[in-house]
Amino acid sequence: MLLLSCPWCGDRSEEEFVCGGEAHIVRPLAPADLDDRAWGDYVFMRRNPKGVQFERWRHVSGCGRWFNVARSTVSHKILAIYQVGYDRPELPE
C-alpha cells in the first residue's frame, strides 16, 4: 500500500488517489498532420517499464489536482513527486 505525498495536501493513503498512467506523453501539436501510425503510437503505445516509471496521479478524494510521481514499478518506492509541466527530475542512483 502506498503513502503518497500530495504537493498541496501532504501525506495521504493511496485510496485517495487515482493513477493517470505514464506521464510526459505530449499531445501532438499539429494533429491534422499525423498519419495512422503516429496516432496509434501516441494513443496506445506505452513504455510500461520494469523499473522507474514517471506517471501522473490525481488526488481525487482531496484537492482534485494532478501531479507527477517517479516510482519504481518493482519495489513501489516513491522516488520523486513533482508538479505537472516540469521535466523529469534527476533521481538519486
Candidates 19, 52, 79, 80; binder of another protein (CB under 8 A) is 19
Candidates 5, 21, 61, 88; binder of another protein (CB under 8 A) is 21
Among positions 32-91, residues that touch another protein (CB under 8 A) are 36-37, 39-41, 43-50, 53, 55, 71, 73-76
CA distance 81 to 93: 16
How many residues appear in the chain?
A: 93
| Least distance between another protein and beta carbon 28 (Å) | 15
In contact, 81 and 7? CB cutoff 8 Å? yes
In contact, 39 and 30? CB cutoff 8 Å? no
| Least distance between another protein and beta carbon 91 (Å) | 17
Cell numbers linked to 84: 505537472
Strand partners, 37: none
* Residues found near another protein in the complex (CB under 8 A): 1-2, 14-15, 18-19, 21-22, 36-37, 39-41, 43-50, 53, 55, 71, 73-76
